[in-house]
Structure 1
Amino acid sequence: MTKQLTRERLIQAALTLFKEKGYAAASTRDIAQQAGVNHLTLFRHFGNKRNLFRESVIQHVASGDFTSAIEGKLSGNLQEDLALIAQAYLEENLEKDGVFWLYFNEAKQDPEVAELVAEIPRKLHDFLASYFSQLHDRGSISSGNFQLLARMFFGLLNQYILFRKLPAFDVTADENTDAFIHECVDLFRTKLEKKELS
């Protein structure tokens, strides 16, 4: 088995067991056994359980390449760019709602996991706040608390992901993903676009 294949099997096994048992109850021995590898192999690849959680769960939710892939596609048009960011983020994460629940539940119980989980929104918020700042510096948008607005934007997207599968929040035909993105983007565009003086 190649190193890469071994690593991928460990990540998939960890993801399965973290979802089934939670972070604390999923032992590294169980994960190695599920992956069909020696227990020491897990440590050679990841060093510890914390690193394995980071790669298997956190990277599964929001890959480190998300912001890099998006940056090259931004046009400077607020409405188009926010729609692009929202679409890409939801496409990457909508089918991962089970993992979202896992890391939120684990973060409430374990400060170590909470710190790991906090890495995702920090990167995303910094990325979007920086984008807003660049547009503001060019005179394209109004001023605002860009860090807070970035948190609100991704907060709405995460709420959509988390609530979509709950029976009480069943999405009807007129509340599809495109409609949600349109309304979300329009909300932020209305807040940030410069008003023309009459």
Structure 2
Amino acid sequence: MAIEKTEDKLIIAAIDIMQHKGYSATTTKEIAQHAGVSEMTLFRKFPSKQTILDAIIDKYSYAFTMKKIFTEQLTYDIEHDLTAVSRTYQTFMEENKKIVLLAYKECNVHDEISERLTANPRLIKNYLMDYFKEMIELGKIGDINVELQVMNFLWMNLGYFSSQFISGKKVAQVPVEDFIEHSVKVFAKGLKKD
């Protein structure tokens, strides 16, 4: 059994508390107590609460995974590529619900936190915009409003995650793989050239 590092304990404790109380209301003393260490140990590992938040965001960043899709794994088959993006997005969101809840709590409260927590969605948007523009140039999709269609794709994925996150199976009982397969198929069909 692997021994959990102090930094990891502190990050997990911070997420656990911040998801309920928010960033501002969470104290370093609470984080240290929840992690089972002294506040002095916390400050040896993280000089401030902001550096803990930065570590949380860095640890749970999925930018690398998305970059890999767009730089190494594209097939230029719109359905295949968007399926890979949707699957990565849904997996990340499911595994990091606590970070998502923190992002919801902190949006429009702390600009610096909102800026960091929205970095990944902005990066995905940019990757997708470049991809859609390239697909237009290759003649694989029609002449579309690129930003609008990228946002539609992202909203579709966020909508599925949010409905599962907020209401569980009370609203929709569609398994994630069924959602990805069917929604991406319809979305890709709408983009393809006639």
Same-fold status (TM-score > 0.5): yes
1:16 maps onto 2:16 in alignment: yes
Q: How does 1:41-190 map to 2 (within 5 A)?
A: 41-43=41-43, 45-57=45-57, 59-60=59-60, 62-71=61-70, 72-167=72-167, 170-173=170-173, 175-190=174-189
Which deviates more from structure 2 when the two are superposed, residues 39-48 or residues 179-188?
39-48
How far the C-alpha of 1:76 sits from its partner, in A, is 1.0
Percent identity, aligned pairs only?
26
Structure 1 pair 37–98 and aligned structure 2 pair: CA distance change class (3 A): closer
How far the C-alpha of 1:116 sits from its partner, in A, is 2.1
Structure 1 pair 55–134 and aligned structure 2 pair: CA distance change class (3 A): farther
Structure 1 pair 46–11 and aligned structure 2 pair: CA distance change class (3 A): same
SS in 2 for 1:65: helix
Cα distance in 2, alignment partners of residues 46 and 133 from structure 1: 42
Query: What amino acid does structure 1 have at the position aligned with 2:143?
Result: S
Cα distance in 2, alignment partners of residues 31 and 107 from structure 1: 21
Q: Can you list the C-alpha shifts for 1:117-172, whole angstroms capped at 9, x where unaligned?
A: 22121111111111112222222222223233222212221121121143486255
Structure 1 pair 166–52 and aligned structure 2 pair: CA distance change class (3 A): same
Query: What amino acid does structure 2 have at the position aligned with 1:5?
Result: K
Q: Which has the higher contact order (CA 8 A, sep 6+)?
A: 2
Which deviates more from structure 2 when the two are superposed, residues 130-139 or residues 164-173?
164-173
**Structure 2 residues not aligned, in runs of 5+:** none
Contact 1:17 1:26 in 2 (8 A): yes
Which deviates more from structure 2 when the two are superposed, residues 82-91 or residues 112-121?
112-121
How far the C-alpha of 1:20 sits from its partner, in A, is 2.9
Cα distance in 1, alignment partners of residues 154 and 164 from structure 2: 15
Cα distance in 1, alignment partners of residues 48 and 137 from structure 2: 43
Query: What TM-score, normalized by structure 2, do the two folds share?
Result: 0.82
**Structure 1 residues not aligned, in runs of 5+:** none
Q: Report how many residues are paired.
A: 190
Cα distance in 1, alignment partners of residues 5 and 98 from structure 2: 24
Cα RMSD (Å): 2.6
Contact 1:78 1:189 in 2 (8 A): yes
Q: Which residue of 1 aligns with 2:30?
A: 30
Which deviates more from structure 2 when the two are superposed, residues 117-126 or residues 186-195?
186-195
Query: What amino acid does structure 2 have at the position aligned with 1:192?
Result: L
How far the C-alpha of 1:186 sits from its partner, in A, is 2.6
Cα distance in 2, alignment partners of residues 194 and 152 from structure 1: 18
Cα distance in 2, alignment partners of residues 168 and 56 from structure 1: 25
